[in-house]
Amino acid sequence: MWQMVTRCKLSALKYYNFVVQQYPQETSQQILSTSLMYLNALINQYIPPEMVEECKEKMFDILMTVLQKNMGDDALMTPVVDNMFSFTTSKDQVNLSLSWVDKKYIHTAAEPDKKIHDLQENNLRSICKTVFKSPHLTNEEKMQLLEKVIGDDKSDIAKNVRIQCEASIPDPAVKEQVWKDITDPNSEISIKERQSKMMGFFAWSQFDICKPYADKYYEELKDFDKKHSNKYVEAFMHNMRPTMEILDSHIVKLVAIKGNVPDTSSAYKKQLEENIELLIRCKTLREMAVQD
């Protein structure tokens, strides 16, 4: 079914509704994990923007039901837990996640002392990265959470989590500095750290702040390959692709950029072509979902 979606043969909304109905009955660890991976991509790219928060919030509640149903079966619960935090949306869900961080285990809002599943360090970091994009907490509350989760950890993992979280702060000045950091060809910041900044840059709740960077993205692509390595070009194209709003003018710009790339830069031309195809697919599938 996923292949049908990516070929624009099946509406993203129909796929979403199918997963919502079938997921609670699924008993395969691989299908549980793969379905969430696909569903996260589908909601962020193929579902109409006005439906994103509703779809995420509903899926979070379904995953809670699945966890309660499979208590004690770690083989089934682990892939759900590892992938569920990106669906955290509502204020109640954010507050519930904060309680999980404090207790270091998942529980329901009604029974906070009843452990459903233990949380590992990677789970706590995932909660932190997701909650930092939420509009339901102040910056001060977010920084307190970051210190609680990361603390004095000096590892590369902790460092990159901190970088990603700080890039998620809904402040125009923060976004402007992050953009400079990831586009400056003379930047002394490591590629890994710049990729962490990319991962934290966009958030649905920060649409107005992030919107101006769509035009800046296409402006950068005019000669991005001349200033950065092929590996970094690929990372920038993928992570900074402005899919929250896709206009016909955006696709036209990208086609024009590709047309100006010389044949000697075949790798870059191919990357641009793939980018164009993905934007067209996103736009087409969103329009199909609206018609449903």
* pLDDT tens digits, one per residue of 180-239: 999 999 999 999 999 999 999 999 999 999 999 999 999 999 999 999 999 999 999 999
Structural domain boundaries, residue 261: 211-292
In a domain, 156, yes or no: no
Using the predicted structure, report yes or no on whether residue 25 has a pLDDT greater than 80: yes
What is the pLDDT, as a whole number, of residue 116? 95
pLDDT tens track for 112-143: 999 999 999 999 999 999 999 999 999 999 99
pLDDT tens track for 30-58: 888 888 999 999 999 999 999 999 999 99
In a domain, 80, yes or no: yes
In a domain, 151, yes or no: no
In a domain, 223, yes or no: yes
Residue in the block written with tokens 């809002």: 109
Split at pLDDT 50, 70, 90, the class of 26 is confident
Last residue within a domain, chosen from 58, 90, 122: 90
What is the pLDDT, as a whole number, of residue 197? 97
What is the pLDDT, as a whole number, of residue 292? 74
State if pTM tops 0.95.
no
Q: For residues 46 and 80, what is the distance between their CA atoms, to the nearest angstrom?
A: 22
Closest residue by Cα to residue 126 from 28, 30, 40, 239: 40
Neighbour-count burial for 57-90, b at 16+ CB within 10 Å, e otherwise = bebbebbbebbbebeeeeebbbbbbebbbbbbbb
In a domain, 11, yes or no: yes
What is the pLDDT, as a whole number, of residue 29? 85
200 Cβ neighbours under 8 A, 6+ residues apart: 129, 132, 133, 163, 164, 165, 166, 167, 168, 178
What is the pLDDT, as a whole number, of residue 28? 85
Distance of CA 174 to the CA centre of its chain: 19
pLDDT tens track for 91-103: 999 999 999 999 9
Give the chain's domain count.
Answer: 2
In a domain, 120, yes or no: no
Using the predicted structure, report yes or no on whether residue 88 has a pLDDT greater than 90: yes
Last residue within a domain, chosen from 33, 61, 90: 90
pLDDT tens track for 265-289: 899 999 999 999 999 999 999 999 9
Last residue within a domain, chosen from 39, 63, 90: 90
Pair of tokens at residue 96: 């519930």
What is the pLDDT, as a whole number, of residue 39? 93
In a domain, 233, yes or no: yes
What is the pLDDT, as a whole number, of residue 32? 86
In a domain, 261, yes or no: yes
Lowest-pLDDT choice from 54-58, 78-82, 239-243:
78-82
